[in-house]
Structure 1
């Protein structure tokens, strides 16, 4: 389970330290890919396998299914951690998420998101301002 919010720097080589509390649940490696809302998403190997199995079952005759599969798979890369708990984030993923020298790492139960700090603050403010509306919508879904 991944929970919490952390701010970490990104070094000149494109490495970011993943907090130990999150890293230990990832095991020895993980998969990072483009996330929705212009962030990056890190999945455990089992969670990535589960998502992948669902994606490959989508009908490839459907243009939206093909587009989403391209989005997820073409951006994905396996990552590992060095002795300092850092993972190398490829340049194309850093560029996609607008990451430069700092990032916010957010635990979201079954996955981890990495955000450019200003984008994270903006989405956090938006979510907090709409929390009652969101709560009502979740209640309609039985949550």
Structure 2
């Protein structure tokens, strides 16, 4: 399980240090793809396989299902950790999530999210203002 928040920087070549606590669960190779909130989602091979199986089950005849699968797989890339604990994030993923220098890596149960620090701060500011209504909606889902 992934949890916690870590702040790092991306170097000029697009390399990012993955915190050692995340590296242990991600392994040497894992998948990064576009996330749903202008961030990146990072999955271990096992979790990516689980997601892949669920997405394969979506009906090919459904336009939204095709778009959703296309969104996740078109942006996906396999990442490998180098000897310094870094990964190279492709330019298209950095551009999608507005990752320039300061980033935040967030553990979210089965995945790691990579956010631009500025976007993460904006997201948290808004979420903090709305946390009571979010909690109410989660209660409606049985949580």
- TM-score, with normalisation over the residues of structure 1? 0.97
1:94 pairs with 2:81: no
Could you tell me which runs of 5 or more consecutive residues in structure 2 were left unpaired when the two chains were aligned: none
**C-alpha distance in structure 2 between counterparts of 1:122 and 1:46, whole Å:** 31
CA distance in 1, matches of 2:62, 2:29: 32
Say if 2:84 is the partner of 1:84.
yes
1:43-73 CA deviation, whole Å, 9 max, x = no partner? 0101100111111111111111111111000
Q: Which runs of 4+ in 1 moved over 3 A?
A: none
> What is the aligned-residue RMSD (CA, Å)?
0.8
Give the secondary structure class of the aligned counterpart of 2:32: strand
Question: Alpha-carbon deviations, 1:83-129, whole Å to 9, x = none?
Answer: 11101100000000011112111110110000111100011111111
How much has 1:134 moved relative to structure 2? Answer: 1.0
What are the residue-to-residue correspondences of 1:108-123 with 2, within 5 Å?
Answer: 108-123=108-123
Q: Please list, as runs of the form range in 1=range in 2, the aligned pairs for 1:54-73 lying within 5 A after superposition.
A: 54-73=54-73
| 1:106 lines up with 2:114 in the alignment | no
Q: In the alignment, which residue of structure 2 is the partner of 1:136?
A: 136
User: What is the CA distance between 1:28 and its match in structure 2?
Assistant: 1.6
- Tell me the matched-pair count: 143
Q: Quote the Cα distance in structure 2 between the aligned partners of 1:137 and 1:59.
A: 28
Alignment-derived partner of residue 52 in structure 2: 52
| SS at structure 1 position matched to 2:37 | helix
- SS of the equivalent of 1:84 reads coil
TM-score in terms of structure 2 length: 0.97
- 1:17 matched to which residue of 2? 17
Gap regions ≥5 residues in structure 1: none
* Partner in structure 2 of residue 29 of structure 1: 29
